[in-house]
């Protein structure tokens, strides 16, 4: 080991030790997991060689989280975090170059370059929020006022002691986030949906939209994405429901996920998309790109509002029309909210099956009604019946998610669309959450099939796909 490397390792070990001693046992344990995943064990006994342990599998995000924490410690110690400008930029760039050159991080060259850029970018732009962003346990960051900043960790909101100097300081951070994605925000357009380089979704507002001052709401992505097993563990759905949905995705059924704000639609979309085979070319269309798929073959598209000169707008509809020319195997529409509904349905009806999307709605039936309204927004003069025919022949499954009073997000209902009777779309419920009451704050109940065998079972059998009939058996409530 060269001298320089040795010195770096010792310094890092010292920082690790100091940091661990400052943390609560909980946080220290968390940090250890992150560090272990990054292929380095934080050192408690002063044994600097422990941190050269070879990483097992390249884990980009974990390596990044580890480096980012050390970076923040380092620039924090030098008192740079609150000053702005070239100093910090230079320090960060120097750190990134040094760490990546000397560390045995399990990344290839392209990943190293990307990592250095992201580290620099994320750390410099975010001012006092940087340490919160480096904490992998933080899922939301909410800035209400310079001295009022909340984070959500493991589903609980807590106030932090992080502070901005004043409202101006918040505005500058907002402007930097906006500039990075080529957007402007000012008093004449005081609200913006933005995105951080890691995919986190940001909403920023300025007065007069928010009366008391600028706000920032960050919903984090990338670090800790909920996956299938997480949802099973949390109790969002039953294993049978999951198995059925995975089969439906693989069988290229068109699925619409409905639910209210923050009900977990996008998260479920991401989980269902996990089931898409690696061999398929996926095109995603979102207002703010937040999906992060594991598959390699993904093209991500994002809408844009008008710019300051009133030009440059790209709608979801524009993107969808273009996506159809990109030889997609799957089109995923993050949230169907307007005229693109028409093209989406038409695409689904003309061989582009396997589509998945979300829609803001209060129930499966409400989802259908809203879809119809959106098609009408497209400005084509179709009779209601024709629109409904399009809908029922395009969409196969509706999945409704809901955030219950106890804060748990559950799939309330999965329904199959079976056709049109008169003017009424017909659907049959296949699974539901049967609510039994509450115990304290907790909502009691269980998931069950309704006993209805979906039509797609027969269809799929003809195509050689067997769906276990046991999935659709009604289950009685296990608890008394």
Ligand X SMILES: Nc1ncnc2c1ncn2[C@@H]1O[C@H](COP(=O)(O)OP(=O)(O)OP(=O)(O)O)[C@@H](O)[C@H]1O
Give the C-alpha separation, 353 to 355, whole Å. 5
367 binds ligand X (CB under 6 A): no
- How far CA 42 is from CA of 7, 25, 78, 294, in Å, comes to 16, 14, 22, 28
Q: Cβ of residue 186: shortest distance to Mg ion, in angstroms?
A: 26
- The entry of Mg ion, ligand X, none that residue 39 binds, CB within 5 to 8 Å by partner kind: none
Q: With contacts defined by CB under 6 A, name the span among 80-88, 99-107, 206-214, 226-234 that binds ligand X.
A: 226-234
d(CA 49, CA 95): 21
Which option in Mg ion, ligand X, none does residue 454 bind, with CB closer than 5 to 8 A by kind?
none
Q: Are 428 and 444 in contact (CB under 8 A)?
A: no
Handedness of CA 457, 459, 461, 464 (dihedral sign): negative
65-73, 88-96, 231-239, 367-375 -> range binding ligand X (CB under 6 A): 231-239
Q: Residue 473: how many CB atoms within 10 A of its CB?
A: 13
**Segment 115 to 144, residues that bind ligand X, using CB under 6 A:** 139-140
Tokens of 125: 């732009």
From the list Mg ion, ligand X, none, partner contacted by residue 120 (C-beta under 5 to 8 A by kind): none
Contact residue for ligand X among 27, 41, 226, 369 (CB under 6 A) = 226
Q: Which residue is nearest to Mg ion (CB)?
A: 266
Shorter beta-carbon distance to Mg ion: residue 257 or 415 = 257
Residue 267 touching ligand X (CB under 6 A): yes
Query: Cβ atoms within 10 A of the Cβ of 72, count?
Result: 19
- The footprint of ligand X on residues 309-328 (CB under 6 A) is none
Total of chain residues touching ligand X, rule CB under 6 A: 16
Of 228, 237, 235, residue with least CA distance to 413? 237
Residues of this chain, 195-224, that bind Mg ion according to CB under 5 A: none
Kind of pairing between the strands at 356-360 and 255-259: parallel
DSSP-assigned beta bridge partners for residue 193: 203
Query: Which of 123, 258, 266, 284 touches ligand X (CB under 6 A)?
Result: 266
Rounded Cα gap, residues 430 and 452, in angstroms: 6
Residue 153 in contact with ligand X, rule: CB under 6 A: no
Asked if 330 touches ligand X (CB under 6 A), the answer is no
Distance CA 142, CA 234 (A): 24
Residue 139 touches which member of Mg ion, ligand X, none, C-beta under 5-8 Å by kind: ligand X
Tokens of 288: 């703010």
266 binds Mg ion (CB under 5 A): yes
Q: Does 259 bind ligand X (CB under 6 A)?
A: yes
Q: Which two tokens stand for residue 471?
A: 């999935």
Residues 404 and 443: beta-carbon distance below 8 Å? yes
- 284: contact with Mg ion by CB under 5 A: no
**In the complex, which residues of this chain contact ligand X (CB under 6 A)?**
139-140, 219, 226, 231, 234, 236, 259, 261-267, 409
**In the complex, which residues of this chain contact Mg ion (CB under 5 A)?**
265-266
């Amino acid at each position: 080991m060269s001298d320089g490397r040795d010195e770096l390792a010792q310094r890092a070990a010292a920082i690790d030790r100091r940091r661990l001693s400052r943390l609560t046992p909980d946080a220290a344990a968390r940090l250890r997991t992150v560090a272990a995943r990054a292929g380095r064990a934080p050192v408690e006994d002063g044994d600097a060689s422990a941190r050269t342990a070879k990483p097992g599998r390249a884990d980009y995000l974990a390596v990044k989280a580890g480096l980012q924490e050390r970076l923040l410690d380092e620039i924090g110690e030098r008192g740079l975090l609150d000053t702005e400008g070239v100093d910090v930029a230079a320090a960060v760039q120097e750190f990134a170059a040094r760490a990546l050159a000397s560390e045995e991080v399990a990344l290839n060259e392209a990943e190293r370059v990307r990592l250095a850029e992201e580290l620099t970018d994320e750390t410099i732009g975010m001012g006092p929020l940087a340490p919160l962003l480096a904490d992998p346990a933080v899922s939301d960051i909410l800035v209400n006022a310079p001295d009022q900043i909340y984070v959500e960790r493991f589903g609980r909101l807590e106030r932090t002691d992080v502070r901005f100097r004043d409202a101006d300081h918040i505005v500058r951070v907002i402007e930097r986030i906006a500039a990075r994605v080529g957007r402007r925000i000012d008093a004449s357009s005081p609200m913006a949906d933005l995105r951080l380089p890691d995919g986190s979704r940001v909403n920023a507002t300025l007065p007069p939209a928010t009366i008391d001052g600028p706000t920032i709401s960050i919903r984090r992505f990338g670090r800790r994405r909920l996956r299938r097993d997480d949802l099973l563990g949390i109790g969002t759905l039953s294993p049978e429901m999951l198995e059925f949905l995975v089969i439906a995705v693989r069988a290229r059924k068109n699925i619409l996920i409905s639910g209210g704000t923050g009900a977990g639609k996008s998260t479920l979309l991401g989980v269902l998309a996990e089931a898409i085979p690696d061999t398929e070319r996926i095109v995603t269309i979102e207002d703010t790109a937040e999906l992060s798929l594991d598959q390699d073959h993904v093209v991500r598209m994002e809408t844009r509002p008008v710019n300051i000169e009133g030009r440059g707008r790209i709608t979801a509809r524009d993107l969808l029309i273009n996506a159809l020319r990109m030889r997609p195997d799957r089109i995923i529409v993050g949230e169907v909210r307007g005229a693109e509904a028409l093209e989406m349905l038409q695409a689904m009806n003309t061989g582009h099956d396997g589509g998945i999307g979300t829609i803001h709605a209060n129930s499966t039936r409400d989802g259908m009604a809203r879809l119809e309204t959106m098609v009408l927004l497209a400005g084509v003069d179709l009779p209601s019946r024709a629109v409904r025919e399009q809908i029922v022949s395009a969409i196969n499954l509706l999945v409704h998610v809901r955030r219950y009073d106890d804060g748990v997000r559950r799939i309330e209902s999965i329904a199959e669309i079976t056709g049109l009777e008169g003017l009424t779309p017909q659907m049959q419920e296949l699974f539901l959450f049967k609510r039994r009451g509450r115990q304290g704050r907790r909502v009691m109940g269980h998931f069950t099939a309704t006993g209805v065998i979906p039509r797609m079972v027969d269809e799929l059998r003809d195509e050689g796909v067997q769906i276990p009939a046991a999935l659709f058996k009604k289950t009685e409530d296990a608890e008394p």
